[in-house]
Structure 1
Amino acid sequence: MRPGDTEAIVSAAQARERRIIDVALDGLTDKAQILDALAQRFDMPRWFGHNWDALYDCLTDLSWLPAKGYVLILTNAAPDTGTASILTDLLTDCCEHWQERSVPFHVFAQTARSADTA
């Protein structure tokens, strides 16, 4: 995703009445920081356990955040970390979970590198 794409994504999501969750990951490379940022933006319930399994459980529930669909926009993500790879796999699994239930769940990511070259 290029920096200028965000407005078009938001506009399309709003037209389809999707809940938009934007998470700025500027400088966040460690698991705890990323989990905290996602927990805050998704307004995770108090039982959220601040680990990858708990993130998956929450993102495949979202009962406290009802919507016709979801659009997650990650900006300035660190592209080359082990954490990024785990998060990518987890979010892919979440997309598949919601797809099986016919609920739109889309993830768009802009890496820090793509922001620098755009």
Structure 2
Amino acid sequence: MPVPPYSSAGALYRARDEQHLTQAQLAAQMFITQAGMLKRLRKLQRLGFIERNIDPTDARKQTVSLTDPGRVVLESVLDEFFTAERKSLDTLSGPQRIELTRMLRELLNQRDD
């Protein structure tokens, strides 16, 4: 079974529990453009990892949900994904990690405003 690139794994991860996330919501959560999100979603759909359906509350929107094969692939890449992330963060000192955490929280807070 093909494995999606890490950039698409984020979309799979965010769609794992939510059954009614839209392309726009996923793009906002991943800090990418809707066009960039659409490219990732099309690939994931071709691979059979996600389904896109018309939003029951707004026919102009499509919701994204993870398929059973998508869940299998997600579980298989999560360990590798988090290991790579941990290795990247291991290069930072304690104060650098604290500063990174502060900056990321600031970004999230700006997004929520």
> Greater relative contact order (Cα 8 A, min sep 6): structure 1 or 2?
1
Band of TM-score, shorter chain: under 0.3
TM-score (norm 2): 0.27
Give the structure with higher Rg (CA).
2
Looking at secondary structure, tell me which structure has more helix per residue.
2
TM-score (norm 1): 0.26
